[in-house]
Amino acid sequence: MIPRVLISLLLAPGLLTGAASAPAERPNLLWLSCEDIGPALGCYGDPHAITPHLDALAAEGVRFTHAFTIAGVCAPCRSSIITGLSPTSLGTHPMRSDVVLPAAVRPFPTLLREAGYHCTNNSKTDYQFPVPQDTWDHSGRAAHWRERGPDQPFFAVFNFTGCHESAIVDESRYARVTTKLEPGERRDPSRLTPPPYHPDTPAVREDLRRYHELITAMDRWVARRLAELEADGLAEDTIVFFWSDHGAGLPRAKRWIYDSGTRVPLIVRIPARWRSAGQGAAGSVDRQLVSSLDLAPTVLGLAGVEAPPHLQGRAFLGPHLGTPRAFVFGVRDRMDERNDIVRGVRGQRFRYLRNFEPWKPYAQYLNTAEKGATMSELRRLHAAGTLPPAAARFMAPAKAREELYDLENDPFEVRNLAASPDHRETLESMRSALEAWMLERRDLGLVPESELHARGREAGTRWDILRGPGGEARLRRLLAAAALAAETGEGARAAQTALLAEEDAVLRYWGATGLGNQARAGDPAGARLLTLLDDPAPCVRIAAGRALARAGSVERPLAVLTAALAGPNEWARLEAVQVLDELDEAARPALPALEAALTDQPNKYIVRVANRALNELRGTNRKVP
């Protein structure tokens, strides 16, 4: 525990006000979370880390070496954490999707409250759905366990926002967060080494310096929270969790489902009286695979509350452990204003990725990410042709369909082994595991967002799309159609054309998308695509317009795309403007529609893509928020 002398230094006068509680019948539960960091802590072996308080916490508890979030970005991850369900099951997989939970799904703090726990959240939610009123006793910047009733057990969440990528980018915010650091807690950029997928330049090293110093500031924050717990006499009755919502807020980390984007620190300190046999010994290290999906069932189990059967995670601590994992899974979908469907499997040694849209570049233009110095350096040196090989692959115009990495020998995941005969068995095993997981979870990611939106955001609409009779069979067909969209050649063209006649709009969408990927003038499928410009599903009209425009037939497809851009379906508007941006010079007649999209448009992502398209067409560099 934190020494008393340290408590006196950390706590401001008047802060030692919490009354000590009588011995509890159930443990208190404290979550200390932060944002946008990987396991860049001293206790994880990072040579540049200055994290004495978290290192001490690990020395008093258990450090998990293989903890992963289900996505490389905050909101889908937080959806999974609070519900115990994959965001692809709920329809919360795209950023800012804003759905309503089905009646059967409740945030797990509600169950703790029903069991008598006082539950507080200080203060981030960002769950991708309106927070039900019965989730928290108090959620806000003043929320604290000290509000509970006499001897009432608590579940308290505190979140540190200072490590967010914006604090690396924004000089003033970085300065505010790190203002109290001592000279010995500052880093020398010349001693920092960028990962091989980043260029080694002063600007990139400066980003790394800020990243590490923000983590040190967070470490001080952890100390203050733990000191409050000690001061209130609660340390021996409180199980403390520390974790991050996903990996580092830097390119090819945040938003991606490599280890750099999903492997996170997870430390749990369990007082002796609350340890199950063989768990939580001071200074222990646990190599079991843990997913962010597992936090909900684990906390419920430690509190003695039965987890609902629909939860998709497993308890990794407590008296009733779930079946050990062979794999954890990861998802990438719409990241801000750009769509990109990627699924991943991580075992103890290997990671497998499936890129469902390999025709898209790794580094699509994302307004927020482009503000960072490291991304600017990647763009600058890519244009100059001087990037190191691993960084150059990240800037390639298209992706591999499959990726396989040996983390034991390639921790930065830069040597793709998917084509290696020596690793075929591993590849096929992980590919099969991914497909089984997608089917079991009824993955909604292969359904275009405009089609999800057309079903509404009311309770259960997305949840039920693939859960009714025939849902698994439908998803199998979607998986096959999505795979076909990445194929080329006459055989693929014939199969893609056949999909255009399917009753299922999503199959028609994937068929038109595949034809658009290998568009050519005079394509025999052109007549069929022309009929789809009047399809009732906006995603199909947009995909058909893309295919025809890429084949050189522009006038009518542009009319369809600009109509969708001004239409009532919010996510169809985004899909349409993405296609207009992709068409480059062919989209010039749509300039007035792109200009109109900048005004009276509530969706900032549509504005960002329209602005990017206008900048490219006009050779300008107009900024948007």
Residue range 142-169, pLDDT digits in tens: 999 999 999 999 999 999 999 999 999 9
Instruction: Please list, in sequence order, all residues whose beta carbon lies within 8 angstroms of the beta carbon of residue 371, skipping any fewer than 6 positions away.
Output: 169
pLDDT at residue number 448 = 97
Residue range 566-594, pLDDT digits in tens: 999 999 999 999 999 999 999 999 999 99
Average pLDDT, the chain: 94
pLDDT band at 359 (very low <50, low <70, confident <90, very high): very high
Radius of gyration of the chain from its Cα atoms, rounded to whole angstroms: 25
339, two tokens: 């769509």
Helices 471-485 and 424-441: crossing angle, nearest 10°? 130
Active-site positions read 74
The helix/strand/coil state of 371 is helix
Cα separation of 432 and 417, whole Å?
17
Q: What angle do CA 374, 380, 383 make, to 5 degrees?
A: 140
Q: For the purposes of burial, counting CB atoms within 10 Å of the CB of 75, is it exposed (0-12), middle (13-18) or buried (19 or more)?
A: buried
Residue range 552-566, pLDDT digits in tens: 999 999 999 999 999
Residue 341 carries which side chain, given as an amino acid letter?
I
Half-sphere exposure of 468 (CA within 13 A, CB side): 5
pLDDT band at 10 (very low <50, low <70, confident <90, very high): very low
Beta bridge partners of 346: 328, 351
Cα separation of 525 and 538, whole Å?
19
Cα separation of 612 and 74, whole Å?
24
Of 125, 123, 135, 144, nearest in space to 28 by CA: 144
Residue range 212-262, pLDDT digits in tens: 999 999 999 999 999 999 999 999 999 999 999 999 999 999 999 999 999
The pTM score is 0.94
Residue-range domains of the chain with CATH: 4-14+28-318 (3.40.720.10), 448-618 (1.25.10.10)
**Tokens 């998802």, residue located:** 331
Q: Which percentage of the chain shows pLDDT scores above 90?
A: 90
Cα separation of 286 and 275, whole Å?
15
Cα separation of 71 and 334, whole Å?
11
Going by their DSSP bridges, the two strands 284-286 and 62-68 should be labelled as parallel
Residue range 83-129, pLDDT digits in tens: 999 999 999 999 998 888 998 899 999 999 999 999 999 999 999 99
Answer for the pair 142, 15: CB distance below 8 angstroms, yes or no: no
| 264 phi/psi in degrees, rounded to 5 | -135, 160
Answer for the pair 145, 164: CB distance below 8 angstroms, yes or no: no
